[in-house]
Amino acid sequence: MAAEPAAARGFTPARRLIVGALVMDLAVAVVGLAVQFKGQVLGATPLQLGLLGTFSSLAYTIFCLFTGTISDRQGRRLLTAVSCIGCGIVWLMLIRADSPVRLLALMPFSGAFIAMFWPPTQAWLSQLSDTQRALRRNIGDFNLSWTVGLMIGPPIAGVLWGYSQAVPFLFAGGCMVALVVFMQTVGGGRKRDRAPAGADPTPLRHDPALVRHFLHLAWIANFAAWFARGLTNVVFPKLGSDLGMSEGLIGTVIAAFLAGQLVVFIYLRKHSGWQWRLWPLLVALASGCAGMVLSYFARTPMQFTIGLGLSGMGGGVTYFASLFYSLQGHVSSRGASSGIHEAVLGSGIFLGPLVGGMVANSVDLHSPFLLAAAVFALTGMVCWVVWQMRRRRVQAEARDALGVASE
């Protein structure tokens, strides 16, 4: 039998979903920074700039709790199509917004439509992965893809903003038109699609209680990372502007968080010894804390770049762990699991801009980074305490079992 052409092997349904993830997060990143720039032009306060991210993230968090489950029952394809169409309409409407209040009124709709894309797409990807090795590889490529989209989005937004205030939103709307057509070419994703008979990409090889324990720890750690990222996205544009940075440079510095995340994703895609261990999460939280402390003291673009890069590396570990543990189990429930995964990180993006904006409004624009460092540190302490409590409980149960056996 002739070998399958490389081009065909590289454009499987799973690969198409991975490309779709890049396009979606590219558009999301462009809109996210462009909204901050537009808010500044319209005279928004630091608190209002924080609320732009907060309103969108709150809607995203709430809807993610439902969209994954709905996709388990009704199929993935329909929700992703509605997501692309809805996002395109809302983002084009942002062009006409002429006050911070109108921007704030539109952002919840943006978050709700984005929530219709990610949990179904993640579950769809796992459904197309017929072995555990394929699932790990696809998750790795998926993470690389959306990270690249988020990383190149802010610099593109900064450049496009220099041409016209409308161009970034037109660009993002065009991406959605292309994406809704492209997603229709992906196999699977319908209501009655099922994994091949007998195939379960991620059979549980560990005690279910241990799996749940690591899942909850990963969720907690991932919350801290996305709290820091959400805070950075709304605080740094104003801070960078006050420090004399151009829009393009601001976008490039923000992308450092994603660059650090990308480096970690590349590593974790090829290595599998980090699962079911606590120390990778603790190291990730320590890296995130150190990066935020450095950002608090930073005054130059290079210093901010290093600080955000360190925090991004920590966030790469927490996200990969959270998604990996969430997709353990049967294919019919992965939409619900990925929905909770996205809702947890969405809550971080929701609270980061809200609390960060309040701190920036009350103290100064550097203080939110110290707050994020404290969240990383507190989260690490919580993870350690929870782990020690479980360890003592397991040891006590083992002693009790040994005592019963000896009688």
Give a yes or no: residue 377 inside a domain: yes
What is the domain extent for residue 389?
Answer: 12-183+203-406
Give a yes or no: residue 339 inside a domain: yes
CATH number of the domain that residue 175 is part of: 1.20.1250.20
Tell me how crowded residue 374 is: count the other CB atoms within 10 A of its CB. 14
pTM as predicted: 0.82
DSSP state string for 123-160: HHHHHT--SHHHHHHHHHHHHHHHHHHHHHHHHHHHHH
- Measured N-to-C along each axis, helices 13-41 and 167-183 cross at an angle, to the nearest 10 degrees, of 160
Structure tokens at 245: 């940075």
Give a yes or no: residue 223 inside a domain: yes
In angstroms, rounded to a whole number, what is the distance separating the alpha carbons of residues 29 and 255? 10
Number of DSSP helices (H) and strands (E) in the chain, helices first: 14, 0
Kindly report the backbone phi and psi dihedral angles of residue 82, in degrees, each rounded to the nearest multiple of 5, phi listed first: -60, -40
Give a yes or no: residue 166 inside a domain: yes
**pLDDT per residue of the chain (407 residues) written in tens, 0 to 9:** 344 444 445 578 889 999 999 999 999 999 998 998 999 999 998 778 878 878 888 999 999 989 988 888 887 899 999 999 999 999 999 999 999 999 999 999 999 999 999 999 988 888 887 776 777 788 889 999 998 898 888 889 988 998 999 999 999 999 999 999 999 888 765 654 444 444 444 444 556 677 778 888 999 999 999 999 989 988 898 899 999 998 778 888 988 998 899 899 988 887 777 777 899 999 999 999 999 999 999 999 999 999 999 999 999 999 999 988 887 755 556 778 788 899 999 999 888 888 888 898 899 999 999 999 999 999 999 999 988 888 787 666 656 655 555 55
Supply the pLDDT for residue 202: 45
Q: Give the up-direction half-sphere exposure of residue 288: CA atoms within 13 A in the CB hemisphere.
A: 36
Supply the pLDDT for residue 406: 53
Instruction: Pick the closest to residue 122 from 327, 351, 340, 375 (CA basis).
Output: 327
CB 121 within 8 A of CB 81: no
Q: Which letter does DSSP use for residue 186 in this model?
A: S
Supply the pLDDT for residue 193: 47
In angstroms, rounded to a whole number, what is the distance separating the alpha carbons of residues 333 and 395? 32
Q: Is 80 exposed, middle or buried (0-12, 13-18, 19+ CB in 10 A)?
A: buried
Give a yes or no: residue 194 inside a domain: no
Q: Which letter does DSSP use for residue 195 in this model?
A: P
Structure tokens at 201: 């990409």
In angstroms, rounded to a whole number, what is the distance separating the alpha carbons of residues 26 and 146? 8
CB 124 within 8 A of CB 76: yes
Residue matched to tokens 């084009």: 92
Give a yes or no: residue 197 inside a domain: no
Q: Let me know how long the chain is.
A: 407
Give a yes or no: residue 46 inside a domain: yes
Give a yes or no: residue 159 inside a domain: yes
Cα-Cα-Cα-Cα dihedral sign, residues 94, 99, 104, 109? negative
Structure tokens at 264: 């970690």
Residue matched to tokens 């709709």: 109
The number of domains in the chain is: 1
Distances (CA, A) of 14 to 133, 142, 221, 390: 14, 9, 28, 37
DSSP helix/strand/coil, 203: coil
In angstroms, rounded to a whole number, what is the distance separating the alpha carbons of residues 123 and 190? 12
Kindly report the backbone phi and psi dihedral angles of residue 257, in degrees, each rounded to the nearest multiple of 5, phi listed first: -60, -45
Tell me how crowded residue 350 is: count the other CB atoms within 10 A of its CB. 25
Residue matched to tokens 């976008």: 251
* Ordered alpha helix ranges (H), 298-327: 301-326
Structure tokens at 368: 């939110």
Supply the pLDDT for residue 195: 45
